[in-house]
Each structure stands twice: as C-alpha cells, then as structure tokens.
Amino acid sequence: MASVNRIILAGRVLSTPESRFSVEGAPISKFWMEINGGFNQTPGRIEVVCFQSLAEEVKQVVKDKIVLTEGRLRIRSYEDQSGSRKWVTEVLATKIVVLSALDKNNEVAASVPASSASIDTSGFEEIEPLPEEDLPF
C-alpha cells in the first residue's frame, strides 16, 4: 500500500542551527522549532534536520526567526547509555523559507509595503464606471 509522508510547519526557531558533517562528508544541520498546537494548547517543539545544500543555507537562520518548513517526518529509536529505548520524531526538511522575525514584544514584525509611487502605471487603461442599472445586485 502506498503512503504519503509530507509535512508543512510554520513556527519560531528555538535554537541557532548546529552544523556537522556525516561520515561521508555531507553537511548536516539541526535546529529546534516551536509549533503552536492551537487555541489554549501549549506550544510543542520538534527537531528539524537539513542535509546537503539546505544544511549550508540554513546556517543563516537564527533564533526567533519565523520559518516555514516543508519536508517529511522520520520516527526513529535508539538505546541510551542506560540501555532504555528512546523514540525521536523529527522533520527531514526539503525546503525552508524564512518568513520574518519577532519584535521586542514577541509579535511578528509587520512588513512595510512598497510605496505606490514606485509602481509604473503607464501600461494601464482607465476603467469607466458601470451605470447603476447594469449592477447585478
């Protein structure tokens, strides 16, 4: 049976990405991301893992940035030093887009739209208003 494993998350970066290299020399970066569970729910956090060129690009992401992360879920297990089995759920990222940063009040900083004076309107035509009797309502 075929399955789909795709996830898209938007949230705040909790830690600056940690970078290292695999045994084969491929770059790997990891960081924690906070995701909001919804109304009256405590935010959760998940680890995001990036490989190859994305691992290099994500080095520019810093704590408190708001990012959109696309990828797939990986659930794996390992044995800790005491011999007990631990389970880890992480996102293997395929795309990360930095949306914004938080301001001093922990609110998303609004982006200022470009001035309308900089828009070239020479290719536009003036539209004549419709007569009242032609309106459908």
Q: Is residue 84 part of a domain?
A: yes
Overall average pLDDT of the 119-124 stretch: 62
Q: Is residue 54 part of a domain?
A: yes
Is the pLDDT higher at 132 or at 14? 14
Q: Is residue 110 part of a domain?
A: no
Q: Is residue 90 part of a domain?
A: yes
* Dist. CA 104–CA 101, nearest whole Å: 10
* Dist. CA 47–CA 11, nearest whole Å: 12
pLDDT surpassing 90 at residue 130: no
Q: How many domains does the chain have?
A: 1
Q: What is the extent of the structural domain holding 19? A: 7-103
* Dist. CA 97–CA 10, nearest whole Å: 9
pLDDT of 46-101, one tens digit each? Answer: 999 999 999 999 988 888 889 999 999 999 999 999 999 999 999 999 999 998 75
State residue 29's pLDDT score. 94
pLDDT surpassing 60 at residue 119: no
- CATH label of the domain that carries residue 51: 2.40.50.140
Overall average pLDDT of the 107-135 stretch: 58
pTM of the model: 0.68
